[in-house]
Structure 1
Amino acid sequence: MMNNRKLEGKVAFVTGGAQGIGRAITLRLASEGANIAIADLNLDAAQSVAKEVEDLGSKAYPLQVDVRNKEVIIDSVNKVIEEFGVIDILVNNAGVGIFNPIFDIDEKEFDLQYEVNVKGLFFVMQTVAKHMVEMNSGRIINLASQAGRRGESMALSYCMSKAAVISMTQSAALALAPHKINVNAVAPGVVDTPFWVEVDKKFAKLLDLPVGEHKRRTVESIPLGRIEQPEDVANVVAFLASSDSNYMTGQTLNVDGGNVLS
């Protein structure tokens, strides 16, 4: 962990902040001095990560949040403001990924990815941004994906949802720029988390491959020659959360080892 403390005294609200990429982001921002509201569907995991945040010298506030429920979002944001007084940084990380061939995508799968990755992300952003407008400052970082940059034959609904994140980031950046709120996104590639273990199992079934083979081939194709770690994503999020990115807004930064060049 770096210890520059560039976010000393800031308050970050991280959705999906207790697992995988979200946990790495939570801990990285805490190592920079930020106090963290850890919003996650799994409250036990959020409470566990809260202890890690406190070990880094920052305050933590774990909450159980389902981003599909607008009332829960509004209530949670109000609770965080009551606890800390402000929300300086929003990291919209909560998301789901489901992979199927085009003719096997059903309405339930389509709706879930839309509700979490698009609708949930938007209403979290909208709710927190209303508070940031009052402060006339803020940082919003949305988690997109390399899947939002290009089509994938087995991931139409997921690609759709992440492309929407990139589009929302651009529009929100323009809408909120007059209020000195920077809105940017990060597009990770193949990240070494339990999620990708499940993705590999699904593709093994879809493509009739041994478990582990799809992941091996995918990693082999990455120009930088290694699988991405959650900390690789967290490092870029920390940059976007800091004053180092003051003159950036509406951008989606590819953090994918060179998979997508744009």
Structure 2
Amino acid sequence: MTGRLAGRAAYVTGASRGIGRGIALALASEGAGVVVTDIEADAAEAVAVEIRAAGGRAESRVVDVRKWDDFVSLVAHVERQFGQLDIAVNCAGVISVAAVEDVAEAEWDRVMDVNAKGVFLSCKAAAPAMKRNGFGRIINISSVSGKDGYPKLAVYSASKYAVLGFTNSLAKEVARDGITVNAICPGVVKTHMWDMLSDELREQGETAEQSWQRHVLEFVPQGRPQTPEEIGGLAIYLALAPSVTGQSINIDGGLTSH
């Protein structure tokens, strides 16, 4: 498949559904070879099959983002299969919805391990390979909750704030190595995570779908949700842009302004 990313090789964590899937499909549509990773083998392979059916290059691989050895193995696999690693997209994430006083210590650890530590481990493994290649694009998925806090989302927000600080710092470390590091901050996207949130925050007598629609209208100035396809388009831009680094870019229909 030809495209603006032809000859490039990428991996995407948490790519079996939602935003991760949207980004994996977008990268493949522009010609990149993509390793679709997730903790669920069958779900990851289903996305890889979808990419191959459309004429793209894709493989799947099980990766637990909390484990350093999984990333060492992943980067080595990408280099063996494609010759180099060009693009790493860190999308795997979990959410916690509860008042701080009700959050168990183990729940804090779970969210931080996936959302923050997972990004750190991925970047730690990917950066040396990109330096060897003289080219790299690291794209970390944060959230508007990494810029503004919301009630009952303190733990999730903490993890996403951490991603933004880490992204900006790493971008400066590798700025002379041909590597850019940026973060995408999605707003209201109809994913499994937002389905859970809508269910948790629904009002009395309200269905989860009605809660979802209410939150879209209340939060998003444009009055419509964002989509994985739109976020995939931004990921392609960041994969191509040579001078954009250290940034956290909102894609949220006007919800935030910083």
Partner of 1:74: helix, strand, or coil? helix
4+ long deviations beyond 3 Å = none
Structure 1 contact 113–158 (Cα < 8 Å) conserved: yes
Q: Which residue of 2 aligns with 1:33?
A: 31
Range 50-59 or range 86-95, more displaced: 50-59
Q: Is the Cα–Cα contact under 8 Å of residues 9 and 78 in structure 2 kept in the other structure?
A: no
Q: Which residue of 2 aligns with 1:16?
A: 14
The reply on whether 1:249 has 2:227 as its aligned counterpart is no
Structure 1's unaligned 5+ residue stretches are none
CA contact 1:30–1:56 (8 Å) conserved in 2: no
Return the offset for 1:255: 0.3
* Alignment deviations for residues 219-254 of structure 1 (CA, whole Å, 9 cap, x no partner): 002111101111111111111011xx2111000100
More deviation, 174-183/69-78: 69-78
1:108-162 superposed Cα distances (whole Å, 9 cap, x missing partner)? 1100111011111111011011111111211000000000001111100000000
Count of paired positions: 256
Let me know the Cα RMSD of the aligned residues: 1.4
Q: Are 2:123 and 1:101 aligned?
A: no
Distance in structure 1 (CA, Å) of the matches to 2:83 and 2:197:
39
Query: Identity of aligned pairs, percent?
Result: 38
Matches within 5 A, 1:148-167: 148-167=146-165
Please list every run of 5 or more consecutive structure 2 residues that lacks an aligned counterpart in the other structure. none
- Alpha-carbon contact 2:116-2:163 (below 8 Å) kept: yes
State whether structure 2 residue 170 is matched by structure 1 residue 175: no
Q: Secondary structure at the match of 2:140?
A: strand
TM-score, with structure 1 as normaliser:
0.94
Partner of 1:215: 212
Provide the secondary structure at the position in 1 that maps to 2:37: strand
- Any conservation in 1 of the 2:93–2:115 contact (CA below 8 Å)? yes
1:114-133 correspondence runs (5 A): 114-133=112-131
Alignment-mate amino acid for residue 257 of structure 1: G
Does structure 2 conserve the Cα–Cα contact (< 8 Å) formed by 1:102 and 1:153? no
Give yes or no for the alignment of 1:67 onto 2:65. yes
Offset of residue 209 of structure 1: 5.6
